[in-house]
Amino acid sequence: MATAQNPSTPTMRPGVQPLRAGQGTTFLWRKLHSLLGIVPIGAFLLEHLLSNFEALKGPAAYGAQVRFLNSLPLVRVLEWVFIFLPILYHGLYGVYIWLRGKSNIVYYPWAGNWMYTAQRYTGLIAILYIGQHVLRQRFMGISLPENPGAAFAKVQHELANPWMLAVYIIAMIAICWHFAYGIWLFAAKWGITPGTTARKRFGYICAAFGLALAIMGLASIWAFVGPTYRNAPDIAPLSYFAAPVHAGSHTV
Amino acid sequence: MANKTVQLEIKRQATPDAPAVWEKFDLEWRPGMNVTSALMEIAANPVTADGRSTTPVTYDSNCLEEICGSCAMRINGKARMACSALVENLEQPIRIEPLSKFPLVRDLQVDRSVLFENLKAVKAWVPIDGTYDLGAGPRLFPQDQEVNYPLSNCISCTCCMEVCPQFNEETGFVGAATIAQVRLFNNHPTGKVLKEERLRALAGDGGIQECGYAQNCVEVCPKQLPLTDAISDVSREVLLQKAKDFLRG
């Protein structure tokens, strides 16, 4: 059953298509995804973990930190442009990347392949966790930008639920893992660590960094559930002396 | 010495659309036996383990010394060269399947021409054609030879593409072998005249950005090419090229 065919229109090849040399825009979208993971999302994660660490100093210090952050100029613009939208894009495009990959860890259980798979699962944990975390802590319940003194109690009430505590602990470890390996991947894929030795050394640095972040994060969680600040006041009185000078008005 | 038996299970498929069936073969063990020599023995006497006559197994092979890149197949689940897969090092029964990411022709033979198309798409050659004698080419420094030689060992077996989680019909990823050849020809004193074109080609859909750095390619490569190093280096150069193109307008 030979059918006449125009030789100038090649038939669709079966199997994986060859490179579409120089065509399309996936390069731009993929590199944007990669860059956003470091800046601003990674930078924001660092800020968030450092701010959380203030909880170890108690409800007043934690509230003061929340007030300081909300006193930044154009804070709502910063929040959307440098936090919400980048995370949304990074998360959604990340899921798209995952769906297009075909994991073969069963046949090739090698270290790099495990990390490739782990980066996808930790990313999924992160996006699900961040979704509920932003909804419940930022947009539901008492509004913290208006009542920074209520920050400690709000988190403490959330973590009083042992299921929620487990979610926070798992998410903390998954996100620190994702970020630490993400930095390593960024360096490898942007050609910053092009040699095997460089990648190995940088791997140790990223592992130590990720571990340090996870320990800091878990210590902050401990501040809310440990015995030190049990039953924190719903709205902690904030001392202006504890806050940076530019944090608010000089009147008490 | 008692005769030992080698058990093989081979995935057979008469045509690309025919259903796949597994056939078992028992062969007499010989010293130094490898998977290609086992397939040759089956071809000489195509009878299955239960005594049924069958067709010889179709497969690609040529040099029998891991230098031509023809005989890549999945042996006990892993992509590798059949000629260097020594039977005495393999768990039995030895399960042999065709590569899974390429259109099947018959039995263990697949169509790997996508690699050739990719090499053409990135102009993986040194352009020396002219209307007159161009004379001797420029000298190659020993330092560049050190970089180029390992990359020139690629045998186009496509194992790196087979094991890559990103090489599939969804992404149309170009694969590590082609990227390594871009690194090679961009480092050649005459070949680098096409450097910018190669880098721009690799920024296209299915280009270098699809790499997920699972690093299976470098683990599986039978010729130990520094594939992940090449991906890092070429990634940076593609990025710089795109940035330059953008700023130049």
Mean pLDDT of B27-32: 94
- ipTM confidence: 0.94
What is the CA angle A247-A176-A75, rounded to 5? Answer: 25
The answer, yes or no, to whether residue A6 has pLDDT greater than 70, is: no
Higher pLDDT among residues A9 and B112, named by residue: B112
Q: pTM of the entire structure?
A: 0.92
Rounded Cα distance, A91 and A168, in Å: 18
- Report the residue of A20, A108, A119 to disrupt the B interface, i.e. the one with the largest count of B CBs within 10 Å: A108
Confidence of residue B131 (pLDDT cuts 50, 70, 90): confident
- Supply the pLDDT for residue A252: 45
Residue range A75-126, pLDDT digits in tens: 999 999 999 999 999 999 999 999 999 999 999 999 999 999 999 999 999 9
Give residue B77's region: left, alpha or beta (phi > 0; psi -120 to 50). Answer: left
Do A19 and B121 count as a contact with CB atoms less than 8 A apart? yes
Residue range A154-210, pLDDT digits in tens: 999 999 999 999 999 999 999 999 999 999 999 999 999 999 999 999 999 999 999
Rounded Cα distance, A142 and B5, in Å: 76
Are A181 and A119 in contact by the 8 Å Cβ rule? The answer is yes
- Residues in A lying within 8 Å of B, measured between beta carbons: 13-27, 30-31, 97, 99-104, 107-108, 110-113, 115-116, 185, 188-196, 199
Do B209 and A27 count as a contact with CB atoms less than 8 A apart? yes
Residue in chain B closest to A16 (alpha carbons) equals B169
Rounded Cα distance, B97 and B75, in Å: 6
Query: Rounded to a whole number, what is the distance in Å from the CA of B138 to chain A's nearest CA?
Result: 27
Confidence of residue A218 (pLDDT cuts 50, 70, 90): very high
Confidence of residue B129 (pLDDT cuts 50, 70, 90): confident
Are A213 and A176 in contact by the 8 Å Cβ rule? The answer is yes
The answer, yes or no, to whether residue A246 has pLDDT greater than 60, is: no
Helices (H) and strands (E) in chain B, counts: 8, 7
Are B101 and B161 in contact by the 8 Å Cβ rule? The answer is yes
Rounded Cα distance, A102 and B170, in Å: 9
Helix (H) or strand (E) holding B74: strand B72-75
Residue range A50-84, pLDDT digits in tens: 999 999 999 999 999 999 999 999 999 999 999 99
Question: Mean pLDDT for chain B?
Answer: 96
- Supply the pLDDT for residue A206: 98
Q: Of A31, A100, A107, which is closest to B77 when you measure between CB atoms?
A: A107
Question: Mean pLDDT for chain A?
Answer: 92
Query: Rounded to a whole number, what is the distance in Å from the CA of B42 to chain A's nearest CA?
Result: 27
Residue range A125-140, pLDDT digits in tens: 999 999 999 999 999 9
Confidence of residue A13 (pLDDT cuts 50, 70, 90): confident
Residue in chain A closest to B160 (alpha carbons) equals A108
- Supply the pLDDT for residue A10: 56
The answer, yes or no, to whether residue A39 has pLDDT greater than 50, is: yes
CA distances from B240 to A78, A198, B162, B171, B237 (A): 29, 21, 29, 23, 5
Range in B127-141, B165-179, B198-212 with the lowest mean pLDDT: B127-141
Do B101 and A30 count as a contact with CB atoms less than 8 A apart? no
Do B232 and A22 count as a contact with CB atoms less than 8 A apart? no
Cα dihedral sign for B69, B73, B79, B83?
negative
Mean pLDDT of B120-130: 93
